[in-house]
Amino acid sequence: MKRIFCLLVVVLTMAVACLGKGVTWTRPQGIIYQNMGCQMTVTDVELTPECTTMHLSIRYLSGYWIRFMPETFLRQVGGDAHYKIRSARGTRPGEVWVELGQQYVFPDSGKVNFALQFEPIPLDTKAFDFIEGEGATDWRILNISNPKAKACKADVPKDWRKVRYAKDEMLPDALISKGTATVRARVLGYRPDVPMSLTVSGFTPIDSDKRFMEKYPIAPDGTVTARIPLDMTRQVKLGLEPNGNAHGDENFQFHTLILIGPGQETEMLIDLRAEGNPYREFRGYLARTNKECTDYYYQLRRDQRTNALSFHARLSKCETPEQRLQLLADRLTEEKRSINKSRQTSASRALHRMEAEGEYIDWVKMYEQKYIDLLNDAGLSPYPSVDEYLTTAQEYSKLMPLEVKERIQFSSADYEATSQRYAPCSLLFWDFSIFGGEGGDPYTNDLRCTQLVVMDKAGANRDRFIQQIKSEDCLAILRDFEAKRQQHSEENK
């Protein structure tokens, strides 16, 4: 009993050691320069006169390990002083204890919460770096900053202070019109000693079988210009990536989707130290729609768990596959009704309606996978390990058997995402795993068939797709692509 009491005293002493009067940063921003494929989030930082505590949430593959090295330290931005790590022992329920330098193997859930204690940095600190070392595999989280601190609210340039947006914007009809889209960005809070690039990706040009992805380095003054060859107005994925990441393709940060068009210019003001959404303002092509969609995206991320819990509660009341299907259809109707009542632009509402359609079809076609994701998003069940995933999916497939799924007929004419001439502007339109190979509108159907043929994904339908294409634009693309392929084949003989 005495031994247990002594141990309890030690635990309580360590737990209260960092509870002196101080400040807490909630959801601080930070640039993950290297994390070797982990999904790492700094949930909050506690600064007290006794110590500084960083609370981390890390996702990693089951069976893989990490360790916190005793050489790890914090460094104030703009300063030289180092504040060494003291321990890696949880101070809150659910946080694990790890000895410095020892390996911690991730459990099947793949998600673990940690707390790291350091020598106290000054309470008036505005931003600091977390540095394990300068090696290729060392962790670095740079520019961790208090989103509510005045010093972290970078001065907004005068020409960005009063941005005026259009009253309404419409998605253009999809027409092949090759040109260059120009994206210019000014990044507030950018540090030249932490070089980054703006990454543009997420689409495949209609005349190519290769997915587009380019990195555009940000200049020391925080400006960047990206020139993207384009064939029509499209949604593209944006991300900011620290240069030199060993796993750069996995570590895009500050994600969003924006619309760009050939021959059009888009300007963005990005604040790396903003709380939540760093995309503050847009100007140029479809500026209001881009701002609304970016705000909407970050709101969904913020409310992900609440929304997942709410939908899971409704889904749990369903007793049969038919009731679940009806709930999915009802939710689609409700979401569209809510979207239509919003004060967003016509373009924003159209994009959101198409996204809702894609989510509905995704659930019907891949119910077991979506249900696993839902449980994880709601925090009700950890994501299964690689070995357990198939068994878990098979178990949940009983909730929506294949014979029930096959009764649902997906007619292209019934969905905005395949029947409207503006639908190809949406990234979702080109997701053939959701909407299949053919569209509803004749011209957009030609676009989809052309893309499938060029990407060599038409399979047995290749000849039929080519025969039904009527658009001269699409036929010209197929002729040029075939000529280039034959030339390439002859050169390689």
Closest of 451, 481, 442, 483 to residue 206, by C-alpha: 451
| Region at 143 (left for phi over 0; alpha for psi -120 to 50; beta for the rest) | left
Q: What is the pLDDT averaged over residues 418-425?
A: 91
CA distance 426 to 300: 18
Q: State whether residue 464 is helix, strand or coil.
A: helix
Domains detected in the chain:
17-152 (2.60.40), 171-291 (2.60.40.1110), 303-408 (no CATH), 413-493 (no CATH)
Q: Select the more confidently predicted residue: 439 or 446.
A: 446
pLDDT of residue 1 exceeding 80: no
Mean pLDDT of the chain: 85
Q: Select the more confidently predicted residue: 480 or 248.
A: 480
In this predicted structure, what is the pLDDT of residue 286?
Answer: 98
CA distance 24 to 55: 11
Closest of 130, 102, 120 to residue 41, by C-alpha: 130
Q: Evaluate whether 55 touches 114 at the Cβ level (below 8 Å).
A: yes
pLDDT digits (tens, 9 = 90+) for 262-294: 999 999 999 887 777 889 999 999 999 999 999
pLDDT of residue 87 exceeding 50: yes
pLDDT of residue 303 exceeding 70: yes
Q: Select the more confidently predicted residue: 48 or 248.
A: 48
In this predicted structure, what is the pLDDT of residue 60?
Answer: 82
pLDDT of residue 16 exceeding 80: no
Residue 461's pLDDT band (cuts 50, 70, 90): confident
pLDDT of residue 233 exceeding 50: yes
pLDDT digits (tens, 9 = 90+) for 154-195: 578 888 988 999 999 999 998 899 999 999 999 988 888 778
CA distance 59 to 57: 7
